[in-house]
């Protein structure tokens, strides 16, 4: 059984989004997680919204709904005009309310567009006259889908090649935007999305495809046993509503209309559900940040991973949080931009790029060359373009089991001259007069000569960065780097903190060494050299 990873109280809000194919067990996991984190659940299943559709949507049972507070389950009628844009607004408003008292909220659903609407935001389009849609719907009935597809291809080839062209509603939507605004549907994409004031951790459930299909077939059989046939029969008068153009309903409508016998209709539900599951996986796999688990993974395994991600969020902006949490005494604080004092380190970071140009101009009067870690900053006029570097941020999860065979000492004030002499020889760019005061530095002496050194730089409440090892060129190849990284890392663990480091992505030698010692790549991190 994995060791339980405790959560550090986060200083931001988290939405844990559970995704995966139909019948994989998302509802059960969402309830377990909501109970674990003492929070509530938002449903992002576009068909569980409708109170008339209970059995065929595999909505949570009354017992499940009673066990944890749910939102957006059976709150609408199939007769209501409720779409993804309305859901985005409603969900964000509900999240704002929940986050007022909770650090974590759970969201669950297999409708990819609705999940993305909450986590990323929708593209916004101008309002158009409803008459346009009515005319397009009549054109669909009289002239068929291909006629509309040809229209779209002519006026907006980008959308024609991008949207689900076999979906009449998507084609009509693209055309009505063009007709109503005079601009192509595609011209409105990826513009003006509202910033999210929470972070999302996406948990994906999956398993072997054969097992997914087996679970789908079993679920359909259970639905039929629970009365899906009668549920659909009661909705037959509304079969043309968009909400009922749904797997499990449209097939049984064909049965009631005398087109299919019941056995064939059920087999079509299973087949179409399997196809839907395949599309869901394709959609969700596009998000490379999703943390995937097998459908029967233990709750401890999943919560440990979630807690680790939350605890490590400060490392997404390490300079900022170091200067905020533990090293504020070494900080030049410009508001949304912070820098180390120039005699400590040449690094800074920001949380909002809007005023970086002004700050860079001010800071350049204190130091000629410096670095900003994170996203690309906005530069002042007439400055040289910032030079981009990419580093790997690597983290160590447990102590290194390597014997220390060299004599490693913690450097003191009396060693400062030796330290500065070695650093100037090996790493003159990043090390300043007072860098060694940011943390402990350790060294190896040979014949009264300091030949190798490593130490601590950025520090947050729970993480400490290890500097690059500097070794005298005449003493390379003796394994000193391995000894010093081991020694420094294990000292950090003794302080109940976690060591991490940064290394240029092209520096393959050190990367290989860190991998052998147990460091893993957490993320790539950009930093920008600025010269006035």
Please provide the distance, in angstroms rounded to a whole number, between the alpha carbons at the two ends of the chain. Answer: 55
Cα–Cα distance for residue pair 323/21, rounded to 1 Å? 43
Per-residue pLDDT for 2 more than 50?
no
Confidence of residue 6 (pLDDT cuts 50, 70, 90): low
pLDDT for position 5: 58
Number of helical (H) and strand (E) elements in the chain, helices listed first: 18, 18
pTM over 0.85: no
Per-residue pLDDT for 191 more than 70?
no
Q: What is the mean pLDDT of residues 256-276?
A: 96
Is residue 391 classed as helix, strand or coil in its secondary structure?
Answer: strand
- State pLDDT tens for residues 105-129: 999 999 998 999 999 988 777 778 8
Please, how many CA atoms are within 13 Å of residue 449, restricted to the half-sphere of its CB? 9
- State pLDDT tens for residues 344-401: 999 999 987 777 999 999 999 999 999 999 888 999 998 999 999 999 999 999 999 9
Bridge partner list, 331: 340
Q: What is the mean pLDDT of residues 485-496?
A: 97
Cα–Cα distance for residue pair 216/220, rounded to 1 Å? 6
Do 526 and 389 contact (CB within 8 A), yes or no? yes
pLDDT for position 122: 80
Q: Which candidate, 423, 463, 414, 472, places its Cα nearest to that of 439?
A: 463
Phi then psi for residue 165, to 5 deg, are -70, -20
pLDDT for position 1: 43
Cα–Cα distance for residue pair 60/68, rounded to 1 Å? 10
DSSP character for 50? B
Cα 298 to chain centroid, rounded = 22
CATH numbers and ranges of domains, the chain: 14-121+194-311 (3.40.50.300), 130-188 (1.10.20.140), 314-532 (3.40.630.30)
Tokens describing residue 295:
């459908």
Cα–Cα distance for residue pair 266/252, rounded to 1 Å? 8
Helices marked H in 294-378: 299-311, 318-325, 356-363
Q: Residue 308, exposed/middle/buried by CB under 10 A (0-12, 13-18, 19+)?
A: middle
Per-residue pLDDT for 293 more than 80?
yes
């Amino acid at each position: 059984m994995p060791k339980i990873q405790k959560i550090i109280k986060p200083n931001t809000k988290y939405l844990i989004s559970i995704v995966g194919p139909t019948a994989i067990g998302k509802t059960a996991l969402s309830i377990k997680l909501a109970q674990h984190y003492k929070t509530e659940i938002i449903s992002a299943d576009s068909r569980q919204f409708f109170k008339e559709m209970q059995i065929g949507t595999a909505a949570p049972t009354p017992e499940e709904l009673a066990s944890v507070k749910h939102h957006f389950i059976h709150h609408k009628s199939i007769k209501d005009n409720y779409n993804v844009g309305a859901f985005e607004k409603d969900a964000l408003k509900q999240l704002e309310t929940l986050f007022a008292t909770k650090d974590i909220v759970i969201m669950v659903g297999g409708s990819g567009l609705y999940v993305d609407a909450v986590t990323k935001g929708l593209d916004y389009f101008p309002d158009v006259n409803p008459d346009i849609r009515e005319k397009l719907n009549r054109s669909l009935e009289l002239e068929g889908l291909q006629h509309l597809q040809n229209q779209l291809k002519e006026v907006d080839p980008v959308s024609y090649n991008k949207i689900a062209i076999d979906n009449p509603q998507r084609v009509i939507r693209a055309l009505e935007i063009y007709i109503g605004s005079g601009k192509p549907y595609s011209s409105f994409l990826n513009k003006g999305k509202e910033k999210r004031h929470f972070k999302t951790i996406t948990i994906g459930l999956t398993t072997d495809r054969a097992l997914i299909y087996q679970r789908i077939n079993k679920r359909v059989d259970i639905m039929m046993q629970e009365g899906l046939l009668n549920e659909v029969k009661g909705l037959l008068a509304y079969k043309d509503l968009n909400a009922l153009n749904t797997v499990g309903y449209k097939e049984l409508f064909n049965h009631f209309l005398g087109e299919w016998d019941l056995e064939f209709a059920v087999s079509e539900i299973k087949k179409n559900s399997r196809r839907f599951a395949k599309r869901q996986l394709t959609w969700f796999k596009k998000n490379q940040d999703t943390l995937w688990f097998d459908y029967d993974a233990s709750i401890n395994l999943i919560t440990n991973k979630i807690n680790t991600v939350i605890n490590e969020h400060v490392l997404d902006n390490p300079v900022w949080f170091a200067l905020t949490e533990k090293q504020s005494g070494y900080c030049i604080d410009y508001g949304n931009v912070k820098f180390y004092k120039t005699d400590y380190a040449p690094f800074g970071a920001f949380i909002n790029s809007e005023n970086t140009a002004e700050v860079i101009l001010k800071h350049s009067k204190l130091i000629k060359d410096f670095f900003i870690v994170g996203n690309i900053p906005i530069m002042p006029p007439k400055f040289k373009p910032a030079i981009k570097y990419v580093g790997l941020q690597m983290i160590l999860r447990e102590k290194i089991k390597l014997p220390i065979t060299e004599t490693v000492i913690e450097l003191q004030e009396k060693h400062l001259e030796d330290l500065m002499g070695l650093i100037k020889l090996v790493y003159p760019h990043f090390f300043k007069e007072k860098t060694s005061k940011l943390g402990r530095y350790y060294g190896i002496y040979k014949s009264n000569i300091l030949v190798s050194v490593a130490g601590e730089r950025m520090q947050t409440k729970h993480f400490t960065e290890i500097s690059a090892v500097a070794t005298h060129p005449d003493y390379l190849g003796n394994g000193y780097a391995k000894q010093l990284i081991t020694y420094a890392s294990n000292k950090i663990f003794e302080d109940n903190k976690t060591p991490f480091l940064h290394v240029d992505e092209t520096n393959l030698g050190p990367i290989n060494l860190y991998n052998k010692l147990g460091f893993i790549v957490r993320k790539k991190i950009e930093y920008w050299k600025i010269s006035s």
